[in-house]
Amino acid sequence: MTFFKNIELGAGCGNFGKLFFSPCCLTDKNKELKIACDICHLDCFCDACELPFGENTFGIAILCNPYGYGFNTKEETEILLNELTRVLTDDSRIIIIGNHRNKYCTPKRIEKRIHQISLQGVNIHFTVKETDSACPYMGYPFLTTDGRKTNPNKEITLYVRKQFNTGLD
């Protein structure tokens, strides 16, 4: 049985998580990737909003240039973050790496969505770092869903802190 410390959601044909956040479980919901990818690095085919893992399993969740999911609507954000905080340990992180043109992962959108939702027993705060993906992720070929190259220039980190009820009220 393989032990994974981290998880990448929507990994596609890439192996970003394994290269930069190992040991990392690579996931995607598109089962056609088994055939479409030259090499399929995926460990698990699953929806990011219905992860087949137990509570407190991972320390870091990575969303690398997410397209089409994540922070599109208040409802989608709430479902995704509830599921991620379920499988993440206390004092964990969600790292979102993307390009400012990707509407699914702009800092303003993420901040707005986080403030719109309520996560029971979880505090989230975030930082935004301007980045040149050529430096921290040298040589990694970031691609859009249609296969075009892209250059992520934002790294958004959501710090997840779970509040435990001690029963001492």
pTM over 0.85: yes
Output 10-13 pairs: Cβ under 8 A, ≥24 positions apart. Answer: 10/48, 10/63, 10/64, 10/66, 10/67, 10/69, 11/41, 11/42, 11/64, 12/37, 12/143, 12/145, 13/37, 13/38, 13/39, 13/40, 13/41, 13/143
Torsion sign over Cα 117, 98, 41, 15: negative
Q: pLDDT digit string (tens) for 11-62?
A: 998 899 999 999 999 999 999 999 998 899 999 999 999 999 999 999 999 9
User: For the chain, which domains are there?
Assistant: 6-162 (3.40.50.150)
Tell which phi-psi region holds residue 121, choosing left (phi > 0), alpha (psi between -120 and 50) or beta. Answer: left
Residue that wins the pLDDT comparison between 56 and 126 = 56
Average pLDDT value for the chain: 88
**What is the reported pLDDT for 145?**
72
**What is the reported pLDDT for 169?**
46
Structure tokens given for 67? 């397209």
Spatial CB neighbours of 68, under 8 Å, sequence gap ≥ 6: 104, 145
DSSP run (H or E) holding 88: strand 88-98
Q: What is the mean pLDDT of residues 128-133?
A: 82
Q: What is the mean pLDDT of residues 141-168?
A: 80
Residue position matching structure tokens 């870091």 = 60
Q: pLDDT digit string (tens) for 62-94?
A: 998 887 777 888 999 999 999 999 999 999 999
